[in-house]
Structure 1
Amino acid sequence: MTLAKKEQLVLDTLNEGEMPLGAYGLLDRLRGDGFSAPVQVYRSLEKLQALGLVHRLESLNAYTACNLSGDCLGSAAFVICDDCGVIDELNDAELQRDLASMASRHGFTLRRSTIELHGTCTRCAKG
């Protein structure tokens, strides 16, 4: 798969970052690389999401690169520390099957889902 230059720059920026970034945060970091308007960032993010390379974290209004090698076209789950902001992407096939089964029981075909679990990470709990 070949990404356009701007898509690759957005993906690289998300991969380099320690925290999820909003579109305007990405724009600020990429202004020197030819980005001048939010719409350019949003277009790249939409393409990257469609390819399963990027996730949108609704509760943070931010984006993060998929850390599961692009294997994220179905369901994704995240744990998010409310104290330090660290996030971790979880890969749980059983959870994905359960979600699809639950949706099916309600006459719904699940295409994708993103679950965000907020709490406190071990490091913050000890501190």
Structure 2
Amino acid sequence: MSGEKDGIDNPVREKSFAFAIRVVGLYKYLVNEKKEFVLSKQLLKSGTSIGANVEEGIGGISRKDFRAKLSIAYKEARETKYWLKLLHATDYIDEKAFDSMIEDCEELLKILYVIVKKAGE
């Protein structure tokens, strides 16, 4: 499976990696500036897991394996959305940061949903 999906120009791979970098940056801010250690750790785990599962899926040995890993990536993106909303609602991140991060997360969710649906056909 990796041959057809392992190209360098892979939008979901690129977007999930870029999102993970943003999540790491937000995590550092939350820990260093806001002294928040619990919610931020949850965000770090789920937000970086999206790209890790995409990468595993790309390297999958079958269509079923690919779909399973991208389904996990989708679920991790949903979880990340939850943590972002909670951090915003509890005033750990401001409106501007929240809007930017949630927009990227929503974009990943849409892409992953389409991929998982098509892989299941």
Q: Which has the higher contact order (CA 8 A, sep 6+)?
A: 2
TM-score (normalizing by structure 1): 0.26
Hey, which of these two has a bigger chunk of strand by percent?
A: 1
Q: Higher helix proportion, which one?
A: 2
